[in-house]
Structure 1
């Protein structure tokens, strides 16, 4: 999935208050699924309930949570240069009327999305499970240092998405359904494609499939990172003095010690610097915590593609 989808994923996260489309878009996600992001792709590994990591009877689910439908109809860089009605002729039915629209897409990644009746299912007692999950996912069942866990999934009665693959993309659609007049026909089941130009993706899902989710992200406690890094800097500060005594060579070594800041992506590897067995089931909760997946995680799905 290339950069053309980046605007859609960014906007979807913002407009739906934290839901993320699965990647690929037709992948089904369920509460309890866990995955990593590798090379811009979601690598789904398993589910905490089907894998026996957590007893399903411990979980409390809330079903049929209605989402604000206004947040599930949006677009970027799309205009409607034509919207009108016309007439046609059928050998079987004779003359008939139809509604037609032309959608113009300004640039690559311009898109239009429409969904109806969004509802979600979520783990309602997440707070009661989160510590157990840290222990089992980092120590006893797995040894993850970087992980996402789906806590809520959303589905709609139907959804339609069109994404432009280039500048000045165009989509011409029409329907002969009654009572449309000049209203918007994008996303309707009866709508047919007349022609398209430079459209990367155009699809209508007519089933209630769980393709959108909210997730928690496993991260290292910032306080622990700072302690480890400070110890690393302290050790490094003695390196020059040690080198002067150890090597039979006159190095110029009076430069100040500098430690580059650790990015979020590198924080998990900081734990590799710990002495053996310092990170164990008794200490894991002091090193890890869960936080909400955010806009920075959306960017990980589109690496090296620029803005």
Structure 2
């Protein structure tokens, strides 16, 4: 069964232009944090500034960069079977009116997300520090082969999220406001939950926190992958001939011995000799790429 959160994370990445929610939700990520994804979790290992990998005086950090708020409130497979004004009674205040909505979630993983005033903090001169980061993170300070570095973190003044645990989940909410917009009432600070059914996650954050981010990932240069895969294929074709001359057994030709899966996860760096990878050659083997939807899927 698909993780209930997966649909939200993938939609968030696509709709916000590449931002990823922190995991766990509502945790914080800061520019310069470096991490790995292990067992579907984000494991933060350090920060390039705090750990003195990069001199902070060499970096320009831009703050309070406003984002388009229209891209930061959205839903998926959600309907509103009821929305209207209704009457209530309070012992102190007597009769009063309030807005009421029923939000219906079609599938497990359906969601509604609302936020206000999104803005980012980002490393503005990434291009100037990226090469020394490769050398330091893979050779002189650490020996990473897989790593992500946060280049930009985003926050909102408020955000609210509800995710369905099952098909046909429902959330009934009420608010003092009179706006019947689908996400407006859901995200309003006065909104209260009347009742819910089969909701996996429902949370409202009322403080600004850096809970969303963009990252660069360390990858092997394509030309190095092509070179080592070509060499591996060549060696496999020669393997049968070598085996026949080395072993004193009757070996039949088998085309399957030369088979290498098209999407192999062999790391070419594992096949390097002694000191072939060093501070002087690191830039030949590594480069940075944007964290992609494939990386988001590793979280689930």
Change (3 A) 1:273 1:171: same
1:254 Cα shift?
Answer: 5.3
The residue aligned with 1:215 is 215
- Pairing 1:58–2:58 present: yes
Distance 1:95 1:247 in 2: 94
Structure 2, unpaired ranges of 5+? none
1:169 Cα shift?
Answer: 0.3
1:237 Cα shift?
Answer: 2.4
The residue aligned with 1:129 is 129
1:71-110 → structure 2 map (5 Å cutoff): 71-110=71-110
Change (3 A) 1:181 1:128: closer
Runs (4+) of structure 1 exceeding 4 A deviation are: none
1:90 Cα shift?
Answer: 1.2
1:107 Cα shift?
Answer: 0.8
Distance 1:279 1:260 in 2: 26
Which region of structure 1 is more displaced relative to structure 2, 280-289 or 34-43?
A: 34-43
Structure 1, unpaired ranges of 5+? 303-307
1:89 Cα shift?
Answer: 1.4
The residue aligned with 1:15 is 15
CA contact (8 A) 2:151 2:215 kept: yes
The residue aligned with 1:119 is 119
CA contact (8 A) 1:84 1:181 kept: no
What is the number of equivalent residue pairs in this alignment? 296
1:247 Cα shift?
Answer: 1.0
The alignment's TM-score, normalised by the length of structure 2, stands at: 0.95
1:238 Cα shift?
Answer: 2.3
Distance 2:80 2:237 in 1: 64
Change (3 A) 1:262 1:135: farther
CA contact (8 A) 1:85 1:181 kept: no
The residue aligned with 1:193 is 193
1:282 Cα shift?
Answer: 0.6
CA contact (8 A) 2:179 2:185 kept: no
The residue aligned with 2:166 is 166
Distance 2:220 2:179 in 1: 56
Q: Is the partner of 2:223 in helix, strand or coil?
A: helix
The residue aligned with 2:262 is 261
Change (3 A) 1:51 1:243: same
Which region of structure 1 is more displaced relative to structure 2, 235-244 or 149-158?
A: 235-244
- Please give the per-residue CA displacement for 1:212-252, whole angstroms capped at 9, x wherever unaligned: 00110110001001111222222222222221121111110
